Structure 1
Amino acid sequence: MEIPQILFKFKYHFIAGLLLALTVSSFAVLAPRFLTVLAYFWPLFLSTALFLALVLVFGRTSSAAAAGGNSNNNIAGEVFLDYVAGHHELQLESQASRSD
């Protein structure tokens, strides 16, 4: 008689475990296969991979060009960043001082 009373104390644990097992098994049965998802999203994966490859290529080539000693590229980049950040007054002052 003691064992059923002890098990009755854990009835919510058993119900939660059963619900979790049913949920996981239903996801496993109802979810699409990996190849189906891959077949649907392959253009997105491909375009993202190409974009990241281009970012890496342009990043390496622009850093190599900047390391070549051409300081005009760095100045132009700083002026552009100041303009985008909204520091228009600083841009005009920095252009005037650099052109002298």
Structure 2
Amino acid sequence: MKKAPRARKAAAKTATTTGPRAGGAAFQKGLEALTQYVARTGSVTVPRGHEETVDIDGDEHAVKLGIWLTNTKTRRAKLDQTQLAALAHFGVDWATK
């Protein structure tokens, strides 16, 4: 008996977008939520459990902003310079280090 051939893994998606919307939809939703939160509160300190609702292209999206910010910090080595600059613009201290 012959073994069945192994299935190949799908190739990883790569981001090819450049410009102001670079970084993918999830990053952009989080950044929009952060923009809204900072405009309303004047602070970039977000409670971990905070959820911000944003309107993107006429659709409302609930963004778990505190978790998004924590995850983004954890993965900061994978962020490009445009993403880091966007976060630094709001005063996110770890984005400038």
Instruction: Determine if the TM-score, normalized by the shorter chain, exceeds 0.5.
Output: no
> Could you say which TM-score interval applies, normalised by the shorter chain?
under 0.3
Normalised TM-score (structure 2)? 0.26
Higher relative contact order, chain-length normalized (CA < 8 Å, sep 6+): 2
Rg (Cα) greater in structure:
1
Which structure shows the bigger proportion of residues in strand conformation? 2
Which structure shows the bigger proportion of residues in helix conformation? 1
